[in-house]
Copies of this chain bind each other. A is one copy, B any other.
Amino acid sequence: MSLILLITNYIGIIAFSIAGSMKAIEKKMDLLGVLTLGFSTSLAGGILADLLLGITPPTNLIYIPYPTVSFVASLLTFAFYKRFSHVNKPLIYADALGLGAFTASGASLAFGVKPEPLLVIMVGTITAVGGGVLRDILANEIPLVLTKEFYASAAIIGSASYYGLAEIGLQTGFLTTLILLLTFGLRLLAIEMKWKLPNAA
């Protein structure tokens, strides 16, 4: 894994864990709920992706650094909740970086297992947003990504681009970085321009 992908993966895990923990606190869950929602938001998407690809046991349950970082981020959110609720702006950028990193990691993993277009798009997107969907289900809410904002769409475009560019032979290390930046950039643009998908009138 390239250094930039590794670093942005950790940034994503931290940002997603904080988002999950804050949702848990908002829903009056206890410490276990906070750790669980932090873990789910940051790592359950990757676990589901592994299951779909037949990778068992899932990497996120074996490789310790990722869950450790998630638990520490959730514990800190739990301890310093009020302070975290004021740092919205940097969190949005960290979240967008994580979206890019997770999309690139997931798409790359799927392409390595079986280079099929829909599989690459689905696994890339699920790696990036599946954890957030589970967080919202556990919080008894309609998943945010299904209702508003241009968020999962960035992951879909990123994953689809990964497939297309991998098919024409781009080198994996360069390609994952490119897709990371493309997805990140799309998400930032979406925030800046307030893009959203249409609703049925």
Contacts and interface: CB of A to CB of B under 8 A. Distances in A.
A27 B141 CA distance: 12
Contact of A31 (B30, B51, B197): B197
* This chain: copies in complex: 3
Using C-beta atoms within 8 Å of the partner chain, give the interface range for chain A.
Answer: 35 or more
A30 B198 contact: yes
A147 to B, nearest CB: 5
B146 A36 contact: yes
Contacts of A156: 32
A42 to B, nearest CB: 14
Contacts of A139: 142
B140 A31 contact: no
A153 B32 CA distance: 8
